[in-house]
Chain A
Amino acid sequence: MFECKDIAEEASNYLDGDLPLRKRIGLFLHLVICSCCRRYMQQIKQTISTVSTLRPREQHDTDTQALAEKLRTISKTDS
């Protein structure tokens, strides 16, 4: 029998379809009877889509324009 704690631990694998069938069904049955976990699962989904839309980026100090120009110069001298 699966509990709320299992949902918290396996939420990503459940959403990504990376679970053996038996476990998947067990978690599904728990979700059917537990509104708390349905809400949790919904929030994890929402978190994923929010991050994929927001697309936070790695912080860095590189001057990307200068890097692009440097690479272009290298490609010219190399060819």
Chain B
Amino acid sequence: MDQEKLIAALIAGDAAAFDYVVTQYHSIMLSVARAIIGEAFADEVVQEAWISAIKALPRFEGRATLKTWLLQITSNGAKTRLRRESRQLSLDDGWQAEPDYKFDHRGHRIDDVLQWNMDTPEALLQNDQLRDVIEKTYQKLPPHQRAVLTMSDMEGLEMTEICNILDISASNARVLLHRARTALHHSIEKYQES
């Protein structure tokens, strides 16, 4: 839907426009709030973000997309809620893309990477069980990983926008994204092997 028309419809109080934006953006706003403040306050932060956004809508200047603007409001609300509590993501937790036993002392793979039976995304998605595996793995990802993956690979946000929204460094964001992708890759790989 065209953004200007959508905003005009919202300002005019069009019910379908409200349904549309909530359906489109509630989930990703929740993803951002959970990543910043955790599960307990996320719902409340998102509800408040919605209300602030709707009240500020007549002043929306369209410099960012509506999606990025909503995510920024959510992020600001979540950060305010944290009351300037200083926190740095600790990524030094011994995480590895692949466990050490898969490589020899020189870093070569010991076993072959097996060919997947289904070798296109479409083929993967036609398998209900596998869709279920992917959905479950996604839900189990830590909130920061889920938020970065959602914004990057599903919503197509730029890395700089993601870093601003989550208030993390580019290197942190890249590590989180790779961890999330790797976790999903593992789950597909495990399913293919079973």
- Specify the chain A residue showing the minimal Cβ separation from B109: A4
Task: Answer whether A62 and B125 are a contact pair too, CB < 8 Å, given A44-B185, A76-B13.
Answer: no
Grouping DSSP codes into helix (H, G, I), strand (E, B) and loop, the A interface class, with mixed when no group exceeds half, is helix
Q: Does B69 contact A (CB under 8 A)?
A: no
Interface size on B, residues (CB 8 A): 62
A72 and B51 alpha carbons, distance in the complex (Å) = 10
Extra pairs beyond A34-B109, A43-B189, A46-B121 (19, CB < 8 Å): A5-B107, A8-B98, A8-B102, A12-B177, A16-B159, A36-B112, A37-B113, A39-B113, A43-B185, A50-B121, A50-B124, A51-B149, A54-B135, A56-B138, A60-B43, A65-B19, A71-B22, A71-B50, A74-B51
6 CB contacts below 8 A, A to B, read A16-B177, A51-B138, A60-B30, A68-B19, A78-B54, A79-B11
| A contact set with B: CB distance below 8 Å | 3-6, 8-9, 11-13, 16, 18, 34, 36-37, 39-40, 43-44, 46-60, 62, 64-65, 67-69, 71-72, 74-76, 78-79
